[in-house]
Every structure is written in C-alpha cells, then in structure tokens.
Amino acid sequence: MPVITNIEDLRVLAKRRVPRMFYDYADSGSWTESTYRANESDFQRIKLRQRVAVNMENRSTAAAMVGVDVKMPVAIAPTGLTGMQHADGEILAAQAAEAFGIPFTLSTMSICSIEDVAAHTTRPFWFQLYVMRDRDFIERLIDRAKAANCGALVLTLDLQILGQRHKDLKNGLSAPPKLTLPNLINMATKPRWCLGMLGTSRRQFGNIVGHVKGVENMGSLSEWTAKQFDPQLNWGDVEWIKKRWGGKLILKGIQDVEDARLAADSGADALIVSNHGGRQLDGAESSIHALPRIVEAVGSAIEVHMDGGVRSGQDVLKAWALGAKGCYIGRSMLYGLGAMGREGVAKALEIIHKELDLTMAFCGHTQLRNVDRSILLPGTFPT
C-alpha cells in the first residue's frame, strides 16, 4: 500500500483498481473538458495571505450547512453509479461521512437504493432528485426519501438534457454496460473490483429498477431513462416539488446571477453554484469563478454552497472566504472509494480536513466561522 498524503494519490490508486469505463465515467467532462479542468485550475490562481506570530491553539473548522452542524463545511456530492466504483459504494460512503460528521447525498441514479442506505446508517442523509417526465415516479421517490427520514432534498436543475461525454461513448458505458472484448479484458485486470461485485447483489439502479412499471432489469432501464429526463423543467416544477417535499430544499446547478435570484425567490433553503462537474455545458465558467458574483447578488436571502473542482482543504477555505457556506466533493470522494472503499472515503475526508485546519492557521485564524476574504491576496481572486 503506497503512502497516501493527498487526493491525487487516491486518484492514481483508483485508476489502477477501477475498470476503465467506470473510472472514466467519474473522471471526465463533456466535449473538450475545458470547464472540467477550469473547475480545478481556477482554484490554484487564488493566493493566500500567510500570517505569523499568531496564537494557533484551539482551532475549529466547525460550521453549519442548512442548519446541520458539520465538522467542516463539506458534504459528499450526489454522484451516479457510485456503487460501480466499489461494491456497495453508496453505503460505504454514507457510513464514512456519518462517522466523520458531514452530510452524505445519495443520487437518484445510485446503485444502492434509498432504503439500502437508510438500513446501514443511523443519521439522516440527503437525497438528490432528478426531475423525470414520469411525475408519479417522482412523487413516490420523494415519499420514499421522506420515509427514510432524509434530512434535505437536493434538486438538480442542470440535467434536463445530457451533455456529451466522449469517453463514455468510446467505452460503451450504458445501462447495462457493453461487455466488449476490451472492456472484459480490462475488468479481468481488476480482481479486487471483480470480487467485490461478485459479493454483492447491488449491481443496478436501486432507486429505479423494480419501482417503475415495466422496468425490471438493466436492459429495460436503458430505454426508460433515455426518455425520462424532462427538458420542460421550470420554476413551477420547483414550487411543486418544494410543496410535495415539505422539508429543507437545496437547488443544485446555479451558475448565473439571474438564476440565483430566482432560486432565492423560490423559497429554497440553499443553492449550489455548480456546472455539474464540467459534465454538461463545456465552456461554462468554473464554479469558483462564478461564486463571488452569485454571493453578492443574493446576499443573505439564501444560503450559498458550491461544487466543482474541490480537491483539497485549501479549496474549501478559499470557497468559504468567497462566501460559500459549504462545499461538495464528488470526485475526491470517488477517488477514495475506488482506491480503498470506505477506508478510502474516510482518508479523503481526513486529508481535506487536515489541509483546511492547517491552512486556516497559517492564514492567522483559529475559528473558521471568522474567516472572510481578507485571507486572500488582493487581485488573485474573482470579484
């Protein structure tokens, strides 16, 4: 086992251990992947002010996200097919998040179902919802999330249609996956992954298969999902879902100031500045670049979170300084999961927390709640 010191170490290990089609699904963007790369690289342009001769004792990274106390302002992002990075992946990631003290968000397109995760955790997790044409299914999905005592509903607004991801097309990623000779040969080189998948019965979209009339296996699922993402999604649907859900609502996929104001007017509890990890509109600006403008536009009308490119605790601190009250990690979590299962997710969280804690101290602060953009070097961050 190599010495793991940062998220990049976990990524390298995950690439070795996860079949190519599933690793590439997680580690790719749409078209030229320019937005995917910018999400990460734009963080690097922001520079920090180092302070000295400051008492660095009694540090705390504690915060709150939509009223939930968290050890650090980080939540695990909803990621589809998590259970294909590692057997029972959603359950393992949820358990690691619970043990660490941050929220876990389950995707509609998860392998483990809402009920699977609820049965293997003790604290409320969050559930992410895609809006489908089949409104009866959506109502039942919301009701299932209620029955599982989910603490918040994360409504994704930026996937009315699918962005084209070249790697997925070339790898034959579909439901079910195309077992081409190259894919079979590649899977044969991942014995840990294969043994894990043989040891679980969870190998299909657990929130959908068996819950939709006519969708009883991965083959029929493919035809159903191809027709279900609703291109007519609008703010009236947001209002309907808010009423149906009745609990804390977070809107994911906001990149524009006008949309941020509409989100604030919707009565949602929080919005997530996000470009879907660079997997939808290639050429859109990075999330960290859009963040300050959106924070300024909505003020205190709605809690602002961000998602995209977070690979370190320094990224979390920079986002917090620019007004984000929480960050979401998708790929950083998936790298850990693919590399080492639950232990890898825990390791990813430990790495990010340690980097956040130490960087905050080097910048002259002991309490995260007191950090603002004064820790950033003027002229290096977007305004």
Positions annotated as catalytic residues are 276
Q: Are 207 and 110 in contact (CB under 8 A)?
A: yes
HSE, side-chain direction, 13 A CA sphere, residue 44: 7
Residue 136 burial class via C-beta count within 10 angstroms: exposed 0-12, middle 13-18, buried 19 and up? exposed
Cα–Cα dist 195/199, whole Å? 6
Strands 126-129 and 105-106 come out as parallel
Order of strands, sheet of 74-76, starting from the edge strand that comes earlier in the sequence: 74-76, 327-329, 303-307, 270-273, 249-254, 153-156, 126-129, 105-106
Please identify which residue in the block is written with the tokens 């149906």.
244
Q: Each residue of 108-134: b (16+ CB within 10 Å) or e?
A: bbbbbbbebbbeebeebbbbbbbbbeb
What does the block give as tokens for 109? Answer: 């397109």
Cα–Cα dist 143/290, whole Å? 34
DSSP of 150-177: -S-EEEE-S-SSPPP-HHHHHHT--SS-
* 115: amino acid identity, one letter: E
Q: How far is CA 350 from CA 125, 353, 354, in A?
A: 20, 5, 6
Please identify which residue in the block is written with the tokens 């999961």.
337
* 296: amino acid identity, one letter: E
